[in-house]
Structure 1
Amino acid sequence: MQSNGARGPVRLILAVAAVVSLAASLTACSDDSSPSDAASQAASAASRAASAASRAASAATQAGDSLASATAEAGRKFDEFKNGADAKDEVKTDGSASADSDGRATVKVTASNPTSSARSYVVQVDFRDTGGNLLDTTVVTVDDVAANGSKDATARSNRALTGDVDATVARAVRH
């Protein structure tokens, strides 16, 4: 199944292939034995565009692989806490993420413990663009939140993200 993010590079590759085909046709129709300057330039431009499209498709694939890996890792971390209580309503983010010096998105996560003893939280934070598309996911632990108290931690994306990025709590477990 192809993700929405990969469709753009695939369309670009198909468009480049059409340009290359057109350039080849123009070269074949030249009156003399050498290709015309226009056809040669078109073929050269198409070649550069094809190379750029290939790099874009590769980057989209790598981003998709990175997201799949981060999502799988989040699942493994939650699997470690079989006796935890669902605590999604006890954890909040600031919402809008900011970029750190490495370009990674960061957001403050606050866990509020309503119980009568100290607890720790495992929190999955999803980073999404303004269109709601999932860009990255990470897991942060908020240890030793005092009884009837709250504690902050920082969630950081696994890779650099660009544009406006929102951060939401996807799930949280108290243990």
Structure 2
Amino acid sequence: MAGHGGRGADGAALALATFVTGCTPGRPGSAGPAGPASSAASRAARDAGDAFAGAGAEAERGIVAARGGVDTRHEVRLGAVALGGDGRAATRVVARNTAGSAKSFAVQVDFTDRAGNLLDLTVVLVGDVAPRSTGRGAARGNRRPHGEVRAAVGTTLRY
């Protein structure tokens, strides 16, 4: 089923896996542009892939669980970000079900810095939301970011 920008859940999972691992579809094991001038970029992509390996694996599992879903990013709201006692970012997730039957949501939450750089990500599953009702969940990051942290709704699927 088509999602945001014509991508279905499979496309969203592929895009997320591509971002997290630094691989290009059709080029297994690639880590960015080829050539000697891009060695620094390749190292940065590899380091970013390593840094987000745990978060990316969790995110991919959540998105894969929602295959066949519909992109409903506009039906999800996030609360303010707070850093817990363990230093991890957390936010409240509210999903509004506009469908006529109970639905579940897989919500990717991107934790970013002020400039929009990705610091961490996680997927929250909000299950069995009654028709025309809201469901709640909590997103908790996997890393301990420093500085100002913001939360943005990433890929969101209703299924």
Partner in structure 2 of residue 75 of structure 1 = 60
- Give the secondary-structure state (helix, strand or coil) at the position aligned to 1:3: helix
Measured on the aligned residues, the alpha-carbon RMSD in Å equals 2.0
Does residue 166 (structure 1) correspond to residue 150 (structure 2)? The answer is yes
Query: Which of 94, 108, 115 lines up with 1:131 in the alignment?
Result: 115
Percentage of identical aligned residues: 42
TM-score normalised by L of structure 1: 0.61
How far has the Cα of 1:64 moved from its partner?
5.4
Paired residue for 1:113? Answer: 97
SS of 1:147's partner is coil
The Cα shift of 1:88 comes to 1.1
Counterpart Cα distance in 2 of 1:84 and 1:166: 26
Q: Is the 8 A contact 2:105 2:125 kept in 1?
A: yes
Instruction: Find the aligned partners of 2:149 and 2:127 in 1 and give their Cα distance.
Output: 26
The Cα shift of 1:110 comes to 0.6
Alignment match of 2:70 (pick from 85, 89, 98) = 85
Q: Map Cα deviations across residues 32-89 of structure 1 (whole Å, 9 max, x no partner).
A: xxxxxxxxxxxxxxxxxxxxxxxxxxxxx5x752314312431232123221111111
**2:59–2:123 CA contact under 8 A, matched in 1:** yes
Question: Residue in 2 aligned with 1:37?
Answer: none
Q: Which amino acid aligns with 2:84?
A: D
In the alignment, residue 82 of structure 1 is paired with which amino acid?
A: R
Q: Counting helix residues as a fraction of each chain, which structure ranks higher?
A: 1
- 1:102 equivalent in alignment to 2:90: no
Q: Name the SS for the 2:115 alignment partner.
A: coil
What corresponds to 1:14 in structure 2? none
Query: Which one is further off, 73-82 or 157-166?
Result: 73-82
Amino acid at match of 1:127: F
Q: Which residue of 1 is the match for residue 133 of structure 2?
A: 149
Which amino acid counterpart does residue 143 of structure 1 have in structure 2?
G
Stretches of 4+ aligned residues off by more than 3 angstroms: none
Segments of 5+ residues of structure 2 without an aligned counterpart are 1-41
Q: Which amino acid aligns with 1:109?
A: V
Letter in structure 1 aligned against 2:155? R
For residue 44 of structure 2, what is the aligned residue in structure 1?
3
Q: What displacement does 1:108 show?
A: 0.7
Alignment partners' CA distance in 2, 1:139 and 1:163: 22
| Matched position secondary structure for 2:52 | helix
CA contact (8 A) 2:104 2:127 kept: yes
Structure 1 residue ranges without an equivalent (≥5): 7-60
The number of aligned residues is: 118
